[in-house]
Structure 1
Amino acid sequence: MISVAVVGCGAIGGVVARALHEGEVVGARLAGVVDPNGTRGLPGMSLEEALAAADLVVEAAGQAVLADVGPRVVAAGRDLLVVSVGALTDDALLARLHGAGDGRVHLVSGAVGGLDMLRSAARMGPFETVRIVTTKKPAGLVQPWMSAAEADRVRATDRPLEVRRGPAREIAAAFPRSTNVAAAVALAVGDWDVVEAVVVADPAASLTSHVITASGAAGEYRFEIRNRPSPDNPTTSQVVPYAVLRAIGDLAAPSGAFR
Structure 2
Amino acid sequence: MTNSPSLRVGLLGFGSIGAKVASELDAGAVPGARVAAVLRRRADAGPSAVDSLAELLRRCDVVVEAAGPAVLREVAAQVLDTGRDLVAVSVGGLFEDGFVDRLPRRGRLVLCSGAIGGLDLLRAAAFAGPLRRVRITSRKKPRSLLQPWMEAWVADRLKTMEPGDEPVELFDGGVAQAVQLFPNNVNVAATVAFAAGDRALVEVCVVADPAATRTAHVIEIDGSIGSYRFEIANDPSPRNPASSAVVAYSVLRSIADLRATGVRIG
TM-score in terms of structure 2 length: 0.92
Instruction: Give the equivalent residue in structure 2 for 1:251.
Output: 258
CA RMSD, 1 decimal: 1.4
Q: Secondary structure at the match of 2:153?
A: helix
Instruction: Give the equivalent residue in structure 2 for 1:202.
Output: 209
1:9-31 deviation per Cα after TM superposition (whole angstroms, max 9, x unaligned): 00111111122233221121111
Instruction: Give the equivalent residue in structure 1 for 2:131.
Output: 127
Identity of aligned residues (%): 50
Contact 2:122 2:196 in 1 (8 A): yes
Give 1:242's aligned amino acid.
Y
Instruction: Give the equivalent residue in structure 1 for 2:230.
Output: 223
Instruction: Give the equivalent residue in structure 1 for 2:79.
Output: 73
Within 1, Cα distance between the matches of 2:120 and 2:241?
26
Within 2, Cα distance between the matches of 1:66 and 1:109?
16
Contact 1:177 1:236 in 2 (8 A): no
Displacement of 1:43:
1.4
Q: Count residues in correspondence.
A: 256
Within 2, Cα distance between the matches of 1:39 and 1:69?
22
Instruction: Give the equivalent residue in structure 2 for 1:54.
Output: 60
- Structure 2 unaligned residues grouped into runs of 5+: 1-5
Say if 2:37 is the partner of 1:32.
yes
Q: Secondary structure at the match of 1:67?
A: helix
User: Residues 60-99 of structure 1 correspond to what in structure 2 (within 5 A)?
Assistant: 60-97=66-103
Within 2, Cα distance between the matches of 1:78 and 1:136?
34
Instruction: Give the equivalent residue in structure 1 for 2:181.
Output: 174
User: Stretches of 4+ moved more than 6 A in 1?
Assistant: none
User: Residues 97-246 of structure 1 correspond to what in structure 2 (within 5 A)?
Assistant: 97=103, 100-157=104-161, 158-246=165-253
Give 1:230's aligned amino acid.
S
Within 2, Cα distance between the matches of 1:205 and 1:159?
11
Higher mean Cα deviation, 214-223 or 169-178?
169-178
Within 1, Cα distance between the matches of 2:43 and 2:107?
27
Displacement of 1:195:
0.6
CA pair 135-27 structure 1, distance change in 2 beyond 3 A: same
Contact 1:87 1:173 in 2 (8 A): no
Q: Secondary structure at the match of 1:210?
A: strand
1:131-173 deviation per Cα after TM superposition (whole angstroms, max 9, x unaligned): 1000000000010111112212333342211011110121123
Within 2, Cα distance between the matches of 1:236 and 1:152?
22
Within 1, Cα distance between the matches of 2:19 and 2:143?
23
Displacement of 1:42:
4.4
- Structure 1 unaligned residues grouped into runs of 5+: none
Within 1, Cα distance between the matches of 2:119 and 2:43?
34
1:42-93 deviation per Cα after TM superposition (whole angstroms, max 9, x unaligned): 4101311111111101111000000111111011121111111111211253
Give 1:152's aligned amino acid.
D
Contact 1:76 1:101 in 2 (8 A): no
Q: Secondary structure at the match of 2:102?
A: helix
Contact 2:217 2:232 in 1 (8 A): yes
Within 2, Cα distance between the matches of 1:141 and 1:208?
11
